[in-house]
């Protein structure tokens, strides 16, 4: 199904990222930065970033599947699923930017990784704001219906019920 494809896509992206990314060492440096004082730059170890990324990816897949239930309103289901897809797409570049791309050795790769994170999380944030708006609007509508229902009842009905 769609959830299995999504999980396979995340797993393939992470596997390709880990297989094709060289480990940064002191011997490799961007030629444009040679001779400059760059200062220290700490990279996050892979064992700190990869396991939480896998847990977050699995949780996103679980939530994506769970949104197929009937109790989720249809207009919000597609917004939440699109948000999940964008959040899932941001996991691999986030791990890559934190762990595998050193800015002193691969400036372009570092910029591409963090730009990908930005351009995948920004739509996720915008979709979350739309979801908040729709949820608020639906809640206000339900509140008005309840208020109308309560105020329209006759006085004798109110005292009995």
Query: Confidence class of residue 81 from pLDDT cuts 50, 70 and 90?
Result: very high
- Is the pLDDT confidence value at 83 over 80? yes
- Integer-rounded Cα Rg, in Å, for the chain is 24
**Lowest-pLDDT choice from 32-41, 78-87, 143-152:** 32-41
Q: What is the largest CA-CA distance in the chain?
A: 89
Say if pTM beats, i.e. exceeds, 0.75. Answer: no
- Cα separation, 63 vs 155, whole angstroms: 46
Q: Is 37 helix (H, G, I), strand (E, B) or coil?
A: coil
**pLDDT of res. 75:** 80
Residue with the larger pLDDT of the pair 19 and 62: 62
- Cα separation, 85 vs 105, whole angstroms: 31
Q: Is 82 helix (H, G, I), strand (E, B) or coil?
A: helix
- Contact assessment for residue 117 and residue 93, using Cβ atoms and an 8 Å cutoff: yes
**Lowest-pLDDT choice from 3-12, 25-34, 35-44:** 25-34
Query: Confidence class of residue 26 from pLDDT cuts 50, 70 and 90?
Result: very low
pLDDT in tens, 111-124: 999 999 999 999 99
Q: Which of 93, 80, 76 lies closest to 136, judged by CA?
A: 76
- Cα separation, 140 vs 143, whole angstroms: 5
Query: Confidence class of residue 5 from pLDDT cuts 50, 70 and 90?
Result: confident
- Is the pLDDT confidence value at 43 over 80? yes
- Cα separation, 83 vs 123, whole angstroms: 7
Query: Confidence class of residue 152 from pLDDT cuts 50, 70 and 90?
Result: confident
């Amino acid at each position: 199904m769609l959830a299995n494809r999504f999980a396979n896509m995340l797993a393939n992206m992470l596997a390709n990222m880990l297989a094709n990314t060289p480990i940064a060492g002191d011997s490799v440096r961007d030629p444009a930065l040679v001779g400059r004082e760059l200062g220290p730059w700490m990279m996050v170890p892979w064992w700190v970033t990869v396991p939480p990324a896998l847990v977050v990816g699995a949780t996103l897949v679980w939530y994506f599947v769970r949104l197929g239930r009937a109790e989720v309103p249809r207009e919000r289901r597609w917004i939440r699923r699109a948000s999940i897809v964008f959040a899932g797409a941001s996991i691999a570049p986030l791990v890559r930017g934190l762990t595998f791309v050193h800015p002193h050795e691969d400036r372009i790769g570092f910029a591409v990784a963090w730009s990908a994170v930005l351009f995948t999380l920004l739509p996720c944030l915008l979709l979350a704001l739309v979801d908040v708006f729709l949820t608020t609007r639906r809640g206000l509508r339900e509140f008005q219906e309840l208020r109308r229902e309560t105020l329209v009842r006759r006085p004798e009905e109110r005292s009995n019920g």
